[in-house]
Amino acid sequence: MKKVVGIFGGSFNPVHRGHIMLAQYLSQHSHLDEVWLTLSPQNPFKVSKELLDDNHRLSMLQLATDGIDGVEVCDIELSMPRPSYTINTLERLSQEYPQYQFNIVIGGDNWNLFDKWKDYSRIINEYGVVVYPRPGYELNPIGDTNVVFVDAPLADVSSTEIRNSIANGKDVEELLPQGVWEYIKANNLYN
Ligand code: ATP
């Protein structure tokens, strides 16, 4: 049997404890053997001054996952044509790592819009989807063995809240994974 890797994508601007808690939970309590936090690059057509440089966001992901079993960082989308579609990322990952089966990890908010995603039925049938709850979003389940709903615990934290707090001079160390607060301070980010 191939190892199953969950691709958990995001902008991670910055990565926070909620992301790490979820990834760790899924690697321990679902059929996923590993979870790869997969960095979405800057979109050249949607330049946002809030979105930090790819390299900073990648460095923070590396600090946050250092020494955490079953949770890894994936930067494959940084070298792919943009904007990147999930189906293309999954195809590329499968070519590069034929020893793994890839699933995607998405929140209930995205699941409810999933039929708008490019090639969504191929994502379900050829790969697989793991859905975790998001507060305020009711889940519309379907009876497909390739779509697994996991009742993961959620931390009430968001990157937006963290960026705003830093800009307002607050200490947000307790919301951030190991090393990330030091990195933000040392590089004077989000001010
Ligand atoms: P922002 O506030 O900048 O939109 P975010 O943390 O909501 O950031 P991303 O950095 O893109 O979003 O996070 C990647 C994924 O993590 C998203 O799909 C989102 O559903 C999920 N996520 C965000 N916050 C949490 C949380 N507290 N617990 C679990 N998952 C979360």
- Name the domain count of the chain: 1
pLDDT in tens, 150-185: 999 988 899 999 999 999 999 999 999 999 999 999
CA–CA separation, 110 vs 57, rounded Å? 22
**Residue 66 vs residue 42, higher pLDDT:** 66
The pLDDT score that the predictor gives to residue 60 is: 98
Residue 182 lies in a domain: no
137 occurs within a structural domain: yes
Probe target for ligand 1 pocket from 8, 17, 19, with the most ligand atoms within 8 Å of CB = 19
Side-chain-side CA neighbours of 148 within 13 Å: the count stands at 15
Task: Tell me the CATH number at 78.
Answer: 3.40.50.620
Instruction: Give the domain extent around 77.
Output: 3-156
Which ligand 1 atom sits closest to the C-alpha of 109? 20
Task: Tell me the CA–centroid distance for residue 107 and ligand 1, in Å.
Answer: 9
**Residue 39 domain-assigned?**
yes
Q: How many residues does the chain have?
A: 191
pLDDT, position 188:
95
Ligand 1 atom closest to residue 156's alpha carbon, by position in its atom list = 27
pLDDT tens-digit readout, 121-137:
999 999 999 999 998 88
Q: From CA 153, how far away is CA 147, in angstroms rounded?
A: 19
Q: Which residue owns the Cα nearest ligand 1 atom 28?
A: 18
In a domain, 103, yes or no: yes
Give the DSSP letter string of 101-125: EEEEEEEHHHHTTGGGSTTHHHIII
Q: Judging by beta carbons within 10 Å of its beta carbon (0-12, 13-18, 19+), is residue 50 exposed, middle or buried?
A: exposed
Mean pLDDT for the stretch of residues 64-87 = 95
Q: Which of 159, 163, 180, 190 to mutate to test the pocket of ligand 1 (most atoms within 8 A of CB)?
A: 159
Average pLDDT value over all residues in the chain: 94
In a domain? residue 174: no
Q: Evaluate whether residue 74 is within a structural domain.
A: yes
What values do phi and psi take at 20, rounded to 5? -70, -45
Evaluate if residue 82 carries a pLDDT over 90.
Answer: no
pLDDT at 138: 87
Instruction: Give pLDDT tens digits for 14-53.
Output: 999 999 999 999 999 999 999 999 999 987 667 677 899 9
Quote the ligand 1 centre to 191 CA distance (angstroms): 21
Q: Is residue 149 part of a domain?
A: yes
Contact 47, 17 (CB under 8 A): no
Domain annotation covers residue 112: yes
